[in-house]
Amino acid sequence: MAIPAVIPRKSLVEEVRTLIIPTEENRPYPLIVGEHGTRKTSLIKLVVKSIDKDKPKGVVCIDLPLLCRSEIDIVRAMQRALGWSPDPVIDSGKGNYSRFPSSW
């Protein structure tokens, strides 16, 4: 008996499609995580190609280092991928967060 050369991904494609098409309700961002070489990027490309051109897609690809020392490495990679930079006023690190207004 011959083993098929291609593993069908139909159900997986459908599942990922439902994750990356934006909806009206708020939901967490899905993450697709796996070992190097497991075809995660190929799967996403396959799904994006299968979605109607007029439908919105919520996809950001982030290339993470193989060894992430901490969560901050992941956050920084996400910031780079999204082109986000901290607000100089809000994220200056000079805020005094230990003192709250007396009305609180």
For residue range 11-56, what is the model confidence (pLDDT) as tens digits? 888 888 888 887 888 878 787 888 888 888 888 888 888 888 777 7
Question: Per-domain residue ranges for the chain?
Answer: 9-21+32-59, 61-92
Residue 7 pLDDT > 60, yes or no? no
Conformational region of residue 37, where left means phi above 0, alpha means psi within -120 to 50, and beta covers everything else: left
Name the pTM for this structure. 0.56
Name the residue with higher pLDDT: 29 or 8. Answer: 29
Residue 99 pLDDT > 80, yes or no? no
Q: What does each C-alpha distance from 5 to 35, 46, 75 come to in angstroms?
A: 21, 17, 38
